[in-house]
Structure 1
Amino acid sequence: MAISERTRNLQQQLVESLINDASGQVGVDLESMTFALIEQFGHGIGRDLAAAVEKGLAERQAEILNTTHGQQYDCPHCGRPCRAEPGNRRLTTLDGEVEFSEPKCHCRRCRRTFFPSA
């Protein structure tokens, strides 16, 4: 997925704000901080930010799916229409666990549960 110029600018603004905030915190001695600590800080923020973006996009996708399909989806196995119910989904991503809400369906014929986004 290509990243827009606007998104890159927002990312740069966020990075600058995080750097200013981190270097201004009480007890943070930037002069004596090792690169290993700088790296740990950066990775921690990056993982949290990535997980938040993943969760937000997944929830936005669920909203769109509910709106466009009227909460009814075809079973991927037999093709029978199935009604969607709200469901929580937990995925382990590259950035840790992410939990979000999305439609969940159960096909009575196949006795399978599926998430329409998958």
Structure 2
Amino acid sequence: MARPQDTRPEVVASATDLEQVARTLAEKLFGPAGPAWGTTFEDLEELVVQVGRTVSRELLRQALQKQAAGPVPADRQPCPGCQQSTPPTDPEPRILATRVGDAEWNEPAADCSRCRRTFFPSVGESGD
């Protein structure tokens, strides 16, 4: 049996849009008549899980990339070690393992000449 999960308010507010996306995907995947008779539940489930993961990875990638492309908040600009002001450097590729697969984006980076370290302003010290 599926376990109940709390649904975030953003998901509830987007329910109509998400239903339309699902309707569009279902028609694209199965055609206007739906899945062919004889298609097993297992095959349908596997397909929708793969589609869900693909959509989830892409949505996560786009959200992370847009967040990273925005201005770095002032409280994240100093070096987390010595608090010296640091100039931004070229963004660096980041990859994180998530529940839906690897998330990849270009993360803003900064170099501290005093500590001689590169850091990602979006990530605080350990424990943040």
The two structures share one fold, judged by TM-score above 0.5: yes
Q: Percent identity?
A: 27
Where does residue 79 of structure 1 map in the other structure? 83
* Cα separation, 1, equivalents of 2:40 and 2:93: 41
- Of 9, 16, 19, which aligns to 1:2? 9
Q: Tell me, which stretches of 5 or more residues in structure 2 are unaligned?
A: 1-7, 124-128
SS of alignment partner, residue 109 of structure 1: coil
- Of 89, 95, 99, which aligns to 2:100? 95
Where does residue 16 of structure 1 map in the other structure? 23
Where does residue 59 of structure 2 map in the other structure? 53
* Cα separation, 2, equivalents of 1:37 and 1:87: 39
What stretches of structure 1 move > 3 A for 4+ residues in a row?
none
Aligned residues: 113
* Cα separation, 2, equivalents of 1:31 and 1:45: 21
Structure with greater helix share of residues: 1
* Cα separation, 2, equivalents of 1:53 and 1:21: 19
Q: CA shift at 1:96, angstroms?
A: 0.8
Q: CA shift at 1:29, angstroms?
A: 5.5
Where does residue 62 of structure 1 map in the other structure? 68
Q: CA shift at 1:31, angstroms?
A: 1.1
Q: TM-score, normalised by structure 1?
A: 0.81
Q: Tell me, which stretches of 5 or more residues in structure 1 are unaligned?
A: none
Structure with greater strand share of residues: 1
CA RMSD of aligned residues (A): 2.3
Q: CA shift at 1:23, angstroms?
A: 1.3
Q: Does 1:31 align with 2:37?
A: yes
